[in-house]
Chain A
Amino acid sequence: DAMVIQNPRYQVTQFGKPVTLSCSQTLNHNVMYWYQQKSSQAPKLLFHYYDKDFNNEADTPDNFQSRRPNTSFCFLDIRSPGLGDAAMYLCATSRAAGTDTQYFGPGTRLTVL
């Protein structure tokens, strides 16, 4: 089955210790997105890649970076996690940008100690 896979599903890190979250897709979609969702809040777009073109949201902190080494994989790097970065991180893909349906992975829940 074509899908969006996120690893790990649960990640615990220490305050200030860099952490990387992984997303892979078998849908061969051009666009990959990273969202942050805090408890009882709406998922919030951090950035997205259209193919190799990186698009950062204006209010995404510099602490968050992303890499997309190939079509299938996209990584979210948090350089110095703070307690406020504890959240669910959702990866999504779509064939094209705009109104194309986005398909989400199961998410990675990040805990910062």
Chain B
Amino acid sequence: AQSVTQPDIHITVSEGASLELRCNYSYGATPYLFWYVQSPGQGLQLLLKYFSGDTLVQGIKGFEAEFKRSQSSFNLRKPSVHWSDAAEYFCAVGAMGGADGLTFGKGTHLIIQP
């Protein structure tokens, strides 16, 4: 069965500092990987996705993620965070059209310090 682990429940980062959110997955086949962001009381917005090819993927809002098959990881990074980046971030594995759709991690709550 597929699963996603986000080991950090909360992360606090100073505005302007760099950010890395960790994601490890378990998936039986070639994984399709996603990062979503959720602002309070809102739905999920797709930041970026990896299907195949270049293991470093660029997303919206200046985010990027790197797929490392050997480590079963898909960590999200941003070189300089902004106060508006404060939100909940979810890593997901799977594929629409497949059974179960996407499997989500429990999320990482990002807090930005001024």
A binds B: no
Using CB atoms and an 8 Å cutoff, list the residues of chain A in contact with chain B: none
